[in-house]
Amino acid sequence: MDFSEFGFHPDLLEGIEALNFTTATPIQEQAIPLILQGKDLIGIAQTGTGKTAAFVLPIIDLIMDSGESGFTQALVIVPTRELAMQIDQAVEAYSYFTGVSSIAIYGGGSGKDFSRGKEAITRGADIIVATPGRLIAHINMGYTDFSRLRFLVLDEADRMLDMGFLPDLKRIIDTLNPKRQSLLFSATMPQDVMRFARTLLQTPVTVSIALSKPAEGVTQSVYMVNDRQKMPLITEILKDKTGQCILIFSSTKQAVGQLYQKLKAKGFNAGMISSDLEQNEREQMMLAFRNRQVDILVATDVLSRGIDVDGIDLVINFDVPRDAEDYVHRVGRTARAARKGAALTLVSHTDLHRFKRIEKLIGNEIPKIALPAHLASIDEQSPRRDPRGPKRDGKKTPFRGQRHPKGREQGKPGPKK
């Protein structure tokens, strides 16, 4: 379906055409008409299917049709600052010729950023994209007024509930116009999300697109490894991929930092993103990665959802994600918009149970790749040497400096006889 068939305002169509978008994706084709009709909606779609435009475009069009301004008409709530910035950038791009205003409000910034958010809220930016925690901070200050809000969007709803945002979401919703149109988008629909949706939406229509399946353009492969083989294998994989755009995921910020340092020490053009970085550092790193100033980006799952970077060639799971759904989101960073890409996962024996859940979720067995011969012989890490040294006559030698049972310290001479 062509975007011109939705009946959008000419100024909005001009912005869409300037971005070289012509044909709607399945989630856009099904969701946009329903939103334009004023329906509450549950949109279930995997990452990379174009769901941001599925709610942003009709909301911009409806705001333009109303001819009203001076108050916030749409509130989009998302789990992470990166996603907030990305959606705000999408609104800015689509609405370039329309005069519709927007702002992203998220934590981790400076006092100046907080003041900008306050000004936008009190002035009445048309569309506000916010993370729950920072929006609550503004609500606590007493100057928010969403009594005339027309549209509420919860994006990545499953992720927000996983991150413990349910109390914040309920408090935010209590401050909103009860007669609003509500839209909930999620990659998955577990029972807790479904229960929350029933309390939030009025007779919603559900649109479900290709739930929990990696994009067809992703070539998935697995290496069965032990922990000592992981770093040599990563080095082997990356050595012939200079200039390619590569994203490496690990589940903890500590592991991300260690892997980044090792890659830098080996001369790779790498960067990293985790919650240890300040917001401006994270923004600069994402910009460098998008602009191909950094070839390899090592990240936690903060980048596994909603972050759109064109042309990622390879995704590597340094470890198996704890949640099978996170695998789909990680892999979804490549092969976006009908492109091709590859995803490699390193699976150790301790990860096998999680890996089996992934294969069950996606409904396919992921092909296994044999390790290079010179890496296959690397054994598991040998037992640590006892720091107390060798045992004598079956007894443990005490640490140097420990008190001897007879009152003197081990290693120091006793009284003369």
Kindly state whether residues 222 and 184 are assigned to the same domain. no
- CATH of residue 299's domain is 3.40.50.300
- In the chain, the amino acid numbered 40 is D
Cα separation, 334 vs 312, whole angstroms: 5
pLDDT at position 234: 95
Cα separation, 53 vs 39, whole angstroms: 17
Cα separation, 308 vs 317, whole angstroms: 18
The CA-based angle 195-197-199, given to 5 degrees, is 80
Of the ranges 161-175, 224-238, 368-382, which one carries the lowest mean pLDDT score?
Answer: 368-382
Residues in the chain: 417
Cα separation, 17 vs 192, whole angstroms: 39
Of the ranges 42-46, 122-126, 168-172, 201-205, which one carries the lowest mean pLDDT score?
Answer: 42-46
Q: Would you place residue 6 in the very low, low, confident or very high pLDDT band (cuts 50, 70, 90)?
A: very high
Average pLDDT of 362-383?
A: 82
Q: Are 304 and 333 in contact (CB under 8 A)?
A: yes
- Does residue 391 belong to any structural domain of this protein? no
Cα separation, 65 vs 227, whole angstroms: 58
Q: Of 179, 209, 239, which marks where a domain is finished? A: 209
Q: Would you place residue 333 in the very low, low, confident or very high pLDDT band (cuts 50, 70, 90)?
A: confident
Q: What does the mean pLDDT of the chain come to?
A: 86
- Does residue 235 belong to any structural domain of this protein? yes
Kindly state whether residues 175 and 64 are assigned to the same domain. yes
Beta bridge partners of 105: 130
DSSP per residue, 221-249: EEEE--HHHHHHHHHHHHTT-TT--EEEE
Q: Of 188, 209, 230, which marks where a domain is finished? A: 209
- Does residue 386 belong to any structural domain of this protein? no
- Does residue 417 belong to any structural domain of this protein? no
- Nearest in space to 299 (alpha carbons), one of 287, 313, 285: 285
DSSP count for the chain of H helices, then E strands: 15, 14
- Does residue 400 belong to any structural domain of this protein? no
pLDDT at position 397: 42
- In the chain, the amino acid numbered 390 is P
Average pLDDT of 145-154?
A: 97
Kindly state whether residues 51 and 180 are assigned to the same domain. yes
Close Cβ partners of 355 (under 8 Å, ≥ 6 residues apart): 222, 320, 345, 347
Q: Which one-letter DSSP state was computed for residue 204?
A: -
Kindly state whether residues 188 and 254 are assigned to the same domain. no
- The tokens for 369 are 């790749």
- The tokens for 117 are 């958010």
215-245 burial: b if 16+ Cβ within 10 Å, else e = beebebebbbbeeebbbebbeebbeeeeeeb
Q: Would you place residue 47 in the very low, low, confident or very high pLDDT band (cuts 50, 70, 90)?
A: low
pLDDT at position 94: 96
Kindly state whether residues 190 and 94 are assigned to the same domain. yes
pLDDT at position 307: 66
Instruction: Label the pairing between strands 151-155 and 127-130.
Output: unpaired
Kindly state whether residues 259 and 172 are assigned to the same domain. no
What is the residue range of 78's domain?
3-209
Please state, as a whole number, how many other Cβ atoms lie within 10 Å of the Cβ of residue 295.
19
Q: Of 168, 192, 209, which marks where a domain is finished? A: 209
The CA-based angle 194-199-38, given to 5 degrees, is 95
Kindly state whether residues 185 and 240 are assigned to the same domain. no
Chain-centroid distance of CA 408 in Å reads 59
Kindly state whether residues 261 and 372 are assigned to the same domain. yes
Query: What three-state secondary structure class fits 89?
Result: helix
- The tokens for 211 are 């739930």
Question: What phi and psi values does residue 341 have, to the nearest 5 degrees?
Answer: -165, 175
Kindly state whether residues 200 and 345 are assigned to the same domain. no
Return the residue matching tokens 């697995």.
Answer: 222
- Does residue 27 belong to any structural domain of this protein? yes
Average pLDDT of 203-214?
A: 80
Task: Count up the domains in the chain and report the number.
Answer: 2
- Does residue 401 belong to any structural domain of this protein? no
Kindly state whether residues 109 and 241 are assigned to the same domain. no
For residue range 51-107, what is the model confidence (pLDDT) as tens digits? 899 999 999 999 999 988 889 999 999 998 888 998 999 999 999 999 999 999 998
- Does residue 29 belong to any structural domain of this protein? yes
Of the ranges 34-48, 236-250, 376-390, which one carries the lowest mean pLDDT score?
Answer: 376-390
End-to-end, the C-alpha distance of the chain in Å comes to 101
Kindly state whether residues 274 and 230 are assigned to the same domain. yes
Chain-centroid distance of CA 254 in Å reads 17
DSSP per residue, 289-321: HHTTS-SEEEE-GGGSSS---TT--EEEESS--
- pLDDT of 396 higher than 80: no
Kindly state whether residues 228 and 92 are assigned to the same domain. no
Element containing residue 102 per DSSP (H, E): strand 102-105
Angle, helices 166-174 vs 191-200, to 10°: value is 10
